[in-house]
Structure 1
Amino acid sequence: MAQRTGTGRGTAARAARAGAGVLAGAATAAAGALWLAAALPLSAGLAWPRTRPAARAWLAAGTARLISWERLRLESLLGCTVDPAPRTGRGLAYLGLRAAVTALAAPLLASVLGVAGLLLGGSLFEAATGTVTTVSLALPWVSVSTPSITMGLAVSLLLLLAAAAAAAGLAALDRVAARRLLGPSTADLLALRVAELTATRAGVLRAIDAERRRIERDLHDGVQQRVVALAMLLARARRAGDTERAAHLLEQAHRESQRVAAELREVAWKVYPTALDELGLHAALRGVAERSALPVALHYAVERDLAPEVETAVYFVAREAITNAAKHARAHRVEVAVRTTAAGVELSVRDDGVGGADAGGGGLVGLARRVAALDGRLEVSSPAGGPTLITAHLPAPARQEG
């Protein structure tokens, strides 16, 4: 019962806001009509090159001011947020459409509300003065006799409901017109998408170059140094004068070769973990948690197989975030959660460190590029004092078989 009451109140509040939006729209439509009338002589200045810049500036400034009022009304009263598209011509078209619709609808709505008000007022007057009469309504198939107060209240209620429905229709039409004329056009959206893809491609290339430099650094500073040490040990063993010393050097060389193999496995694991293909994302993340220098609590709730590129992105974002927490955050514990959502898959990595992570830093920028390459987004919350929360939202198409 309480839930129904809350739902009813919410519906009434939305209806009241829509009605207020329509009433406010009548005022802004009148202002728009006045501006259109003033814009006609200004538009004549567009025909001459000398006056064209000034006329264009005046038209753009006045239209932008009115459109800003319209956006405020749409967002606050009609719950319609439109991405800005600064086109004076489309703004004038929107103002003209609203002025025309308001000129047609306002008299009708005013008439309906006026009649409803007269009937309601008359019914209340009859009830107060005791002058209620009987109204007979003869239809072809039935005759109805009813007190005039009942008839007045019923008809006024029907008229008010019709006015409310008309106001809701006008509000819906207003939202559609705003999205079509005030928002970006199909060409604008296409250009924006092309720009996003271009930036994403450039970001991916930079991330690939950075990864290559990291691999080269790991090989140079780690594996290469150990291979050189191994070669030196083998050379010393070959030049050794006695068998015991040669055996001792060969034993050292054997241990060094094991370290080289371990370094190579570590580099290969950083490039791409075979567990991701062989055992799946869950097992690969468990491996990251086990290798971490910090305690990692893993919560995995993925209910379907993910595409390989999505699994790879989730894996590397989780691994990099855990590594950053261990190296820079002075954290004591990390929590990793992976779950499917209606939009795809969500990964969150939270640590209890000191916070202050820079979202524009190299590591996080690389993660953001990796996520953006799949049309996802990366969110970083790291206030001073902590905690740090990194959340990746990724679309998750199902794994293609074969």
Structure 2
Amino acid sequence: MLGMVFLLGCEDEKLGTDLGVTNVVLPDISEESLGTEITIQGNGFIDCDVLALSPLSGGTEQPIYMETREVQSDHITVLYPSTATKDSYGLVLVRGSKMRTLGVINSTVGVMPDENLRNALSALFPDIFKGEKISSSAKYVTFTDGTLNISDKNITSLEGLEYFSNIRKLICNNNDISEIPAEVLSRLSELTAQNTGLTKLELATSEQPNTTLVSLNIDGSTKLESVDLYYCYNIEKFSALNCKLVYLDVRNYHSIYGGCLNYNSTDFKFTFSDDASKERLLKMESWWMDSYYSNSGSIVDAINNGVTVEGYDWMHDYPDGNNNYYYSYGKYQKTMKKYGEIPDINLRNALKALVPDVFDGDKVLTVAALNTEYFRNNRPLILAIRESLIWKDYNTSADTKTSFWMEIIWEKSILVNTQSVPATRQVR
């Protein structure tokens, strides 16, 4: 309780318990208020009035008297102490030997408009809100294993969640939320947002890359069309099944020597939109794009669904298995679509006769061509007496150990472009 304060020159007027001060309006306090001037509005202030902060928690803490900067009948301006760091204080008016409580002054950091989100957090931290306002202690509260699970809460907005700075794993399934605050995303190691109303997911930029996110699951979030993981450097698991993507960038992830895009791995899974009227694009590492170890999976489904796939060098150092490291610069290599073309009719007919299952009319089925078994057993491709052949790289592979052909016999043919033929193969 405040001790009695006697101020020289301040008359002890014969007023009621309110000391004649009415219509008091208290300001919001934040961290930025510490050590700065604040103004309390009201009517009936006089020159000798002094304001003090009284801790609400009780105990032996002493009141904090505030330096008066200006007094007018309709307001009083004081210097808010830099040591007043608690969420709430009682504000006391001291006039001579009398005093009066003006109310509670709260330190807040922001607002959380969504009532259902507030209720979910209030169940964990009962005193964390003052109406919609978030108490400044939000940044100090902790979560078990850093995890906040707010699934199935009918939440439509996560505004204000950024002030809870110790969330590391967020599970927000089955809520109609359209976005997640960037500050929240920047701190997460795991995000599970299945069956949400997400329309955008701004994970990182070149100026602010994301180095914390390891796992991302957005299965069933069908309103989200674009996911860019280019500046997310540490993701090990990504799932966007039953989505309707039109753009996905996973160029920073590789398949070589244990990378997360291994051909037989399920660490990266995704589903593109079936809407062929939309321009759909997948950017990825070329090695994975060229996989002929399997003819199923997310990449194959995307190509067969008509998605345009651009292949790039992987962007980082990687080992070759002998402790030697190589660096690639993320350069564009090529584009793969559902169908390829072989303009030369003679070459096309020759291949049709050998592998008819990789053609749809005169068009090459890209995935089928990459996975055909015909040329895997060192069989030569004999193109005898075929003149003016124009070479196209649709039935080749970067891996000479399991190439579609190890020997090409041209015999009286004119090869116009041999750049696609690896040097290890015989051409005669």
Please say whether Structure 1 and Structure 2 have the same fold, judged by a TM-score greater than 0.5: no
Q: TM-score range by the shorter chain?
A: under 0.3
Question: Larger RCO: Structure 1 or Structure 2 (Cα < 8 Å, ≥ 6 residues apart)?
Answer: 1
**TM-score (structure 2 length as normaliser):** 0.18
Going by fraction, where is strand more abundant, 1 or 2? 2
When normalised by structure 1's length, the TM-score is 0.19
Greater helix fraction, Structure 1 or Structure 2: 1
